[in-house]
Amino acid sequence: MRPRFAAAVVLTMTAAIALSGCTKKNETDTAASGDAGSKTYKVAFVPKLQGVPYFEAMNAGGEQAAAALGNVQWLYQGPTQADAAAQADIVRSYIQQKVDALIVAPNDPDSMAPLLQQAKDAGIHVATADTDAPSSVREVFVNQATAEGIGQGLTDSLLTAMGGKGKYAIVSCGQTAENLNSWIEVQKAYTKEKYPDAQIVDIVYAGEDQAKATQMATDLMNAHPDLTGLVGECTSSAPGVAQAVKDAGKIGKVFTVGLGTPQAMKPYLTDKSSTAAILWDVENLGFLTAWAGAQIAQGKTPEATNNVSADLPAVTYDSTSKMLLLGPALAITAENVDQFNY
């Protein structure tokens, strides 16, 4: 459905899960605590990139889950650049440490798959979160929202601002990022189907570099003078494309949306260089990731519906795809951005 921007709205009805608009976790219920027993399980999470607001928010959620569960030691380390080789070195380190569960948001799913196999062979339970490695031996994928929900939400948000027609371009991040590529495929198909008078003219890749995203967006506007829309496909390119529009003095002429974290996007939502950020509660995603790590570390398989915490009372699990689904995506706008503190 088409989003309304007066409040955070559901962009897909794939799962009937209420996401909290506030990032401060409520006191969790007994479902979060699980069977603590006497053993403490080491759950390690390796993000694509450490030090950016998005993954730091996931880390905060993971720490909250560890405190609530009582039987989890949460470990968090990622590369300082979105580099698959550097991420692989960290994964190898955790394998050597013999953690109980290893969860990765892979920069390159294909090259990560053999490492997850090594971890499994070493007796470590493995999973993915935020970004999948579908061809790997991962036991569960903690997914933030469906590809359809995110891709359609981005497209509807942008094309509503563009009046349902015109040319737009996408500034993505890692060229091999499975989640970003899946969203882009949805955007391509959905634009063609629902907005026949709209066209994606180019897709470029800025890595996880905001300044590079700004420069690429500037180059796209120069190369296509009739461009009226830009999508920032990740949390570094979303503010990057908005900054490019602001620098060019084209607010109200070129519209932008993206996958940006709330506080990073707030200045752009306020000055209208960005229409909306399509996202989810990232701290809740981190909480669910730690919970999933604790489950697999104990040899447990999630139920079809899981009462994870007071904020996450009905997380669905699909046994065929082995996917835990956080829930519907949200439209973050100038009206609701202050509900989020990251």
Q: Are residues 212 and 114 both part of a single domain? A: no
Q: Are residues 76 and 50 both part of a single domain? A: yes
Q: Are residues 245 and 167 both part of a single domain? A: yes
3-state secondary structure at position 213: helix
Q: Which pLDDT score, from 0 to 100, does residue 38 have? A: 75
d(CA 19, CA 310): 10
How many Cα neighbours within 13 Å face the side chain of 156? Answer: 19
Q: Which pLDDT score, from 0 to 100, does residue 37 have? A: 53
Unique residue bearing structure tokens 């590529």: 181
d(CA 30, CA 304): 18
Assigned domain for 289 exists: yes
Q: Which pLDDT score, from 0 to 100, does residue 167 have? A: 98
Q: Are residues 164 and 263 both part of a single domain? A: yes
3-state secondary structure at position 45: strand
Assigned domain for 341 exists: no
Total structural domains in the chain? Answer: 2
Q: In what order do the strands lie in the sheet with 330-332?
A: 198-205, 166-172, 227-232, 255-258, 276-279, 330-332
Q: In what order do the strands lie in the sheet with 305-306?
A: 72-76, 41-46, 101-104, 125-129, 141-143, 323-325, 315-318, 305-306
Q: Are residues 271 and 300 both part of a single domain? A: no
Per-residue tens of pLDDT for the chain, all 342 residues: 333 333 343 443 333 333 333 333 343 443 454 444 579 999 999 999 999 999 999 999 999 999 999 999 999 999 999 899 999 999 999 999 999 999 999 999 999 999 999 999 999 999 999 999 999 999 999 999 999 999 999 999 999 999 999 999 999 999 999 999 999 999 999 999 999 999 999 999 999 999 999 999 999 999 999 999 999 999 999 999 999 999 999 999 999 999 999 999 999 999 999 999 999 999 999 999 999 999 999 999 999 999 999 999 999 999 999 999 999 988 999 999 999 989
CA-based radius of gyration for the chain: 19
Q: Are residues 251 and 210 both part of a single domain? A: yes
Q: Are residues 206 and 274 both part of a single domain? A: yes
Assigned domain for 272 exists: yes
Assigned domain for 161 exists: yes
CB 280 within 8 A of CB 19: yes
Q: Are residues 223 and 239 both part of a single domain? A: yes
Q: Are residues 152 and 242 both part of a single domain? A: yes
Q: Which of 279, 295, 314 is where one domain is finished? A: 279
Q: 323, 329, 225, 327: which is closest to 277 by C-alpha? A: 329
Q: State the residue range of the domain holding 110.
A: 30-145+281-326
Q: Which of 247, 279, 311 is where one domain is finished? A: 279
d(CA 247, CA 235): 19
Q: Are residues 127 and 173 both part of a single domain? A: no
Q: Are residues 189 and 300 both part of a single domain? A: no
Assigned domain for 252 exists: yes
d(CA 125, CA 140): 10
Assigned domain for 20 exists: no
For residue 338, the tally of other CB atoms under 10 A from its CB is: 10
Instruction: Kindly report the CATH number assigned to the domain that includes residue 219.
Output: 3.40.50.2300
Structure tokens at 286: 């981190």
For residue 82, the tally of other CB atoms under 10 A from its CB is: 22
Assigned domain for 340 exists: no
3-state secondary structure at position 101: strand
Q: Which of 258, 279, 300 is where one domain is finished? A: 279
For residue 74, the tally of other CB atoms under 10 A from its CB is: 23
pTM metric for this prediction: 0.84
Assigned domain for 3 exists: no
Q: Are residues 319 and 175 both part of a single domain? A: no
Longest distance between any two alpha carbons in the chain, whole Å: 64
CB 326 within 8 A of CB 288: yes
* Cα dihedral value 320, 323, 327, 330, nearest 10: -120
Q: Indicate the pairing of strand 198-205 with strand 227-232.
A: unpaired
Q: Indicate the pairing of strand 125-129 with strand 101-104.
A: parallel
